[in-house]
Amino acid sequence: MPWLSKTDYRDQFQALGQTDMINSTEVRLRLVFIAVPIFAAFLGMGFVLPLYWFGLYLACLLTMQWIIQRLRQRYDRALFQVAIWFNAYIALVFISLPIALWLTGEAVFRVAAVALSFSAMMHSVAQRSRLPVFALGDGFANSLFLMVIMYSFWQDLPGLVEQLIITSLMLAMLVYYLFALTSAFRVRRALRAATEQSAEIQKMRLIGQLSGGVAHDFNNILTVIMGNLELYGEIKSPTERARLVEGAYAAAKKASVLTSQLLSFSRQAPLQPEPVSLPEFADHLVTMTAPLIPGKIDVQVSINEHLPPVQADQNQLEAAVLNLVLNARDAMPEGGHLMVTARELTIGLHSPVGLRTGLPHGDYVALEVEDTGEGVPWPIRDKIFDPFFTTKGVGHGSGLGLSMAQGFAEQSKGALLLESQEGKGTKFTLFLPVAHAAAQTMPAAAE
């Protein structure tokens, strides 16, 4: 079955976490709408059975939540199969109440039974469109209730014609329910295919933008090199020849830097990760950037000397942080404050930082580069990490700085996060794993 393949498997337990967690709005509303009539029946009529059922159903939901939490922590196919069977058990537990209410023969309880069954069917259509294998259990349970109704009517109807009418109506309801469920599956598949096609179109547009930017930058570099070499053959002065050679060498070095940036952007730069002490790195950073920062910008570097080392390629780290610092400098042409700070943090299973960055739980150091410039306008925030995207003038940057920094962060098993307020400033946070936490996973980053 395609939904049990490895790729779809991950999508399914993520969808399960979104739909079946106790803290989801749909589950909370479901519990409230079920609890109110159950407690009303108990207090007003002394009907105890639904109260016991509600306790069992709530215990089942809490157990499913525990299973989902375990699935979120690690890939476990066996546990996912347990979730499939336990979901079918929960569906049977749920439908047992409508069946019991219907068999009482009381009109009020039969209305409640139909309402509960109808809600279960709508839940399957609305919530299970991404979880076909889970919908099988729901479908079986709901079909069981319809068969109980049909059998109940059969006992009260003496004539064959009446029995055939009831059977036809019940089968029609069952077929229509299953048809609605399969239609929801088809719509979901079509939506997913359209999303993937849109992603491919965006990817091709990005490749076109990337290739165009590379061609433009390399054409400028080659023009300088070829021009200097042509002039070299015409000029006899040793001094002028030396100047032309230096110009060609500088252009070739710029091409090397551009190639390095492209490798970092594509996550294919050959990294050499090692423990890097950020307090020592900060001293080197101040020395390196001092000639590049104008006096009208106040620079503050505050890094605790007791911070643990991070696991990263020091040269690539220097290039990434330098790009962030220069980006902050260019955002403050009239002057301002530039702050470089670092702090240690632990990302837990439900940490907001982990949800925003997609980082697994563990120990990290957050290196922050913050400025008091004009901030990043909302319309371009989704484009700021695109290759060759820049708001600077011609000749003032290739537009690869931020994409390179993001590529380095992700290849180092970290992340780069943007926070900005228009008119108040921008903060880039570079998350890098602590050396002892990353030692087991970092060799893969160099592939």
| Per-residue model confidence (pLDDT) at position 180 | 80
In angstroms, the CA 111 to CA 192 distance is 38
| Per-residue model confidence (pLDDT) at position 445 | 36
Percent pLDDT > 70 in the chain is 79
The pLDDT tens digits of the residues spanning 282-304 come to 887 777 777 778 888 998 888 88
- What DSSP state is assigned to residue 445? G
**How do 336-347 and 297-303 pair as beta strands?**
parallel
User: 260, 269 in Cβ contact below 8 A?
Assistant: yes
Q: H/E/C letters for each residue in 382-422?
A: CCCCCCCCCCCCCCCCCCCHHHHHHHHHHHCCCEEEEEEEC
The pLDDT tens digits of the residues spanning 43-69 come to 888 888 888 999 998 898 888 888 877
The pLDDT tens digits of the residues spanning 375-406 come to 888 767 777 777 656 655 444 455 567 877 88
Per-residue pLDDT band for 429 (boundaries 50, 70, 90) equals very high
| Per-residue model confidence (pLDDT) at position 400 | 63
- How is residue 158 written in tokens? 């003496």
Q: Write down the number of H helices and E strands in the chain.
A: 13, 7
Nearest to 81 by CA among 21, 133, 126, 157: 133
| Per-residue model confidence (pLDDT) at position 388 | 59
| Average confidence score pLDDT of the chain | 78
The pLDDT tens digits of the residues spanning 300-347 come to 888 888 899 999 888 788 878 888 888 888 888 888 999 999 999 988
Q: Quick one: CA dihedral 117, 123, 129, 134, positive or negative?
A: negative
Domains located in the chain, CATH noted: 2-156 (no CATH), 274-446 (3.30.565.10)
| Per-residue model confidence (pLDDT) at position 230 | 81
User: Looking at the predicted structure, is the pLDDT value of residue 371 above 90?
Assistant: yes
User: Looking at the predicted structure, is the pLDDT value of residue 42 above 80?
Assistant: yes
- How is residue 305 written in tokens? 């000397």
Report the Cα 242 to chain-centroid distance in Å.
53
* 58 burial via Cβ count (<10 Å: 0-12, 13-18, 19+): middle
Per-residue pLDDT band for 166 (boundaries 50, 70, 90) equals confident
Nearest to 341 by CA among 310, 300, 396, 398: 300
- pTM as predicted: 0.45
In angstroms, the CA 2 to CA 302 distance is 53
